[in-house]
Structures are given as structure tokens and as C-alpha cells.
A and B are shown apart, each in its own frame.
Chain A
Amino acid sequence: MPCIEARGLRKAFGTTIALDGIDLRVEEGRILGLIGPNGAGKTTALNAILGLTPYQGNLKVLGRDPWTERDRLMRDVCFIADVAVLPRWMRVWQALDYVAGVHPRFDRAKAEGFLAKTAIKRGSKVRELSKGMVTQLHLALIMAIDASLLVLDEPTLGLDILYRKQFYDSLLNDYFDRSRTIVVTTHQVEEVQHVLTDLVFVDRGRIVLDCSMEEFESRYLEVMVHPEHVAAARALEPLHERQVFGRSILLFDRVDRQQLADLGDVRTPSIADVFVAVMGNKAGAADGAAK
């Protein structure tokens, strides 16, 4: 059974189409990055998966319909919507008590263990904690839940680099264990590149790229072309070209690695570069069509 299976997922807010027929299949044990510009429909897609918003089309999460079975589904699904949703009046011990009270799969000792590694005091109110500490607290609560699916929507927004690094480190080292599935959206693409196993680009409610990271690495290659080979390289129809320190860097999709190695230094591009190339080309194509 796939962890998430969506077919023809649609959602419109008035005349604005947020999701325009999304087909998505996420298998158990994957870490999927959902990447897209603002307003692409990432959060809407996550809200549909979490049962926070009604939708059209077919969607099953862990075999359940999220819209009608949210409370049951939330025994197996955790999510961090963003850093600012923990109630500000709540004290740390109250958060622990409450989650322990309502969640059958919460391991309180584990949460206390995570908290012991931080500077968070048991009696503090959430409003008294720094933004980074609130994230640590939320993460400690979530990681102590034995869930099958973890959904993170911009989990590190507004955090400084130390907390961001720590966040993904604890997620990978203390939480992820191949039987869990993680779906994450973020604008800080470079931070998740080494974390992800799968990648989906979303734009204007549609999926524009859906591949595993192995596929990504074999498919996309970036070449810093020797000046004398630039013309030859351009003949291979690069996806994108940019100039860095007077050298041309060309991005290729599905071009033989050996062939490219003759033209310059080949390396795996960053997700951000491919994202810019794919989105930029789409925008260019749309402009061309308009003319």
C-alpha cells in the first residue's frame, strides 16, 4: 500500500485553481521534497493530505480518506504546519501532558529525552521561548510519536542556520528509520538536497517534475564548459545556461555523461539550479506561446 496516493487531485478557491489535477504516489520509507514557488499549491496539497481542506479527485493517505477520517488518520500522521502554531499560553509540561493524554502512540519518556538536550524548561510558557526553542519543542513532541507519515510545511521558516541544521540532523538521525515516510516543503532547497529520496516540483497547481533523487542525479548534469567547447555544448540543447566568473555553466537533461565530460567539468547540479532552469523554461515557453 502506498503511503500517499492521489489521482486527479483538484482544488479551487473561487476562480483561483490551487491544484489542477495532481497525480502523486509516495511509497513507504521515502523522504519527498515538494518544491515550488509561492502560490504553487504546495500547502493546499499538504492540507488535502492532512484532511484540513476538502478537495475533488481521489486521495488516500495510509489507505484512508483524510477529509472524512482526519482524527483517526492523525494517530498515524504527524505534521508541523509551521513554527508558530503551538498555543502561546501553553506551558511545556502541559503540552507533554496533553499530547500524552490524547495520542495513543506518544512516548513521553522519549519526548522528555529530546527536551533534556535543549535549554527548554518544563515550566516555561511557549510565549517565553525563542522561535528556535518552539521548533525544538514541537519537534520533540512530534518525534516521540510513533507515526507512519510526517508532514512538514516550511518547518524551518524564520529559524537561524544553527537551528535549521540541527532540525534536519535530528530528523534524520533520531527519527527517520526507512519505515516512516516524510513529506517536506521548503524554500531552503539546498538544506534538504542531501536529505531527500524523492523530488516533486509543483507550479501553478500542476506537477512539473516527479523523480527520485537517484534519477535526478543520473538525469541532470551540470557542465562548466571549457571556453573552446561552448558552441559544441550549446549544440546539445542545454536546459539552461548561466555565467559564473566568465565561465559558462550549462545544465543538461538526459545527455550522456561521457559526452559531457569531454566538454568540461561535470557535476550534479543543485536542486535549486534545476528548479530555476525548469521553472524558467516553463515561463519562457509560456511567454513565447503568448506572442
Chain B
Amino acid sequence: MNSESNAPPESPNDPQAGVPAALSATRPLYWSVRRELWENRSIYVAPLVAATVVLFGFTIRTITLPRRMRALSALDPAQQRAALEMPYDVAAVLVILTAYIVGVFYCLDALHGERRDRSILFWKSLPVSDLTTVLSKASIPLVVLPLLAFAIIVTTQLIMLLLSTAVLVLSRTGAATLWTQLPFFQMTLILLYGLAVHALWHAPLYGWLLLVSGWARRTTFLWAVLPPLAICVVERIAFGTKYFALLLGYRLIGSMKEAFAFGAEPGTRTIDSLAQLSPLRFLSSPGLWSGLVVAATLLATAARMRRNREPI
């Protein structure tokens, strides 16, 4: 451990001595995020395991790759492309789904576990504000997991690409079709855009999970899931409407509609061109901003609530 880098940034005699406010504000945040990664190793282990599983399956499947590539040459370029992209999309989707599951369970435990094991008393004995703590925990699903998922997916896809190339070259099939038809760079851009869009869009959901984990004494999962379901049921029975259910559905998957432009004909849900990304429409959608306002409110409430939370 380098002790110099950990030297106190302030002189002990004068607490107000010229430390930039930004430094003293971001240092506790930075260390709080690292603390979360120390405690919850599943944040990076689970997506890595998912990627390993995908790679394992893909490696076995490369045995038949040369035969499939030769069959592919009979198809038109668009179909070739779709077939080539498929395993790469599967890898991305599996890692992203894993990251979502990790994020949901992480949030449900984040402000609950520290009360359960009484360590909240230790954290509160240090000069870290409740807001910093809540923000550091919110940054896991909103920033850390998307970035991690991105890095893991791109690395996985690169390994897949190199593996396929090696197999094709060695089998004398040739990797030219693969390299010309697989839009690797474009896939990466779409992935990055999609991850960012979803993190922003889902922010209020994570805010809700964190709030419940800071509030509930036990069974955080039930408290997070059952009340919204109950509202849906009551609304359906009492008024015969399903506005709340539609609202929830919109919050879960509405970002696809807001952030991507799909083809005119119904049923096409594929994204195969950068032209389909519509960041301006996404940034101007009321759903995004209302969601962010709700998320900020939920996180502020969670921070305020943590102030008088005690071990349970």
C-alpha cells in the first residue's frame, strides 16, 4: 500500500485549509464505491461467469463453424450478416441480463445489509454523508455495472472474433466473409448507446429498490415488488383500467421505443444500423426526464431516511 497517496489532504490544524471542495467531496465517494466492490464481488464476478459460459459454448460450436460459413455463402449479404451477428448478440444479452439481476439484488441489499450486520454504526462513525453513501450505492447499477458489462461484452466478443478467425484460417475456409460482414465497430457503438440509455431510463427503478432496502426491516424483495403489483390489481378491479400497469411496463421497456427508431413495418425489432439510434428523440422524451426527477427524489429520500436508521 502506498502510504503517500493516502496522506491526509488537509492539514490537521486547520480543517478549512485550502482544499478544493470538489476533492473532499469526491474522495469519500470514490472510496465508498470501492468499498461496495470489495463487499459485493458478485458485481463483477457474475457478469464474468456469464461471459465465460458464453465463451465455453461458443468454443464448442466453432467445430462446425467452417461448414456453416460455407453454407452461409449461398445467402444474400443481409442474411449473412444477421446469421454472423447472432452469437455476438446472444453473448451481449446474456451478460446484460446477468448484470441486471445482479443490480436488482445488489440494490435490495445495499441499505439493508449494513443495518442487519450493524456495520452502519461503523460507517456512520466516519465523515461520509448519508447522501454520499446513497449515491455511491446508486452508482453501482447506474454507472459501474453498465461500464463493466460494456467492457466484459466487448472483450468477450473480441475473443469470439479472434477464435472464429483462427478456426476459419486454419480450416482454410478463409475469414474474409466474417470480417467484411460482421459490423464489429457498429455493434460496439450500439451496445454503448443501449447501455447508457437503459441506465438512465431505469434510474427510478433502482431508486425505488434502494429506498425499499433502506426502509424495510426484512423481506426487501417482497416490499419492492408486491406494493406495485397490488396497485395494478386494485386499479384493475376498482376501475377496470390498467394505467399503472402500463406505466410500469413503459418504465421497464419503453426506452427501446424512445431511443431507437425501428422499421416502419410492424414486427421488425432489429437494430442493424447506426441510423436507428435516435439520441435526440430520447433526450427530449418527457419519460426520460420525469424518470430522472423521480429517481432523484427517491435517492434523496433514501439518504434522508438513512440519517436515523439504526441496526435491525
Contact = CB atoms under 8 A, between A and B. Distances in A.
Contacts of B59: none
Contacts of A108: 1, 3, 6
B127 A99 contact: no
A84 B118 CA distance: 7
Interface stretch (A67-75, A190-198, A244-252, A283-291): A67-75
A85 B12 CA distance: 27
A109 interface: yes
B266 to A, nearest CB: 51
A115 to B, nearest CB: 12
Interface in B67-120: 114, 117-120
Nearest to A93: B1
A94 B38 contact: yes
Contacts of B310: 52-53
A128 B32 CA distance: 23
5 contacts: A71-B130, A81-B122, A91-B38, A101-B34, A108-B6
A71 B24 CA distance: 12
Contact of A85 (B27, B31, B122): B122
Interface in B1-41: 1, 3, 6, 8-10, 12, 15, 19, 24, 27-28, 30-32, 34-35, 38-39
Interface of B: 1, 3, 6, 8-10, 12, 15, 19, 24, 27-28, 30-32, 34-35, 38-39, 114, 117-122, 124-130, 132, 307-308, 310
A74 B125 contact: yes
Interface of A: 50, 52-54, 67, 70-76, 78-82, 84-91, 93-94, 96-109, 138, 146
Which 9 residue pairs across A and B have the least CB separation, nearest first? A101-B31, A71-B129, A100-B6, A87-B119, A81-B121, A74-B127, A85-B121, A104-B10, A102-B28
Contacts of B15: 75-76, 104
A286 to B, nearest CB: 30
A90 B6 CA distance: 19
A88 B113 CA distance: 11
**Which of B9, B15, B121, B125 gathers most chain A CB within 10 Å?**
B125
A91 B24 CA distance: 25
A14 B28 CA distance: 36
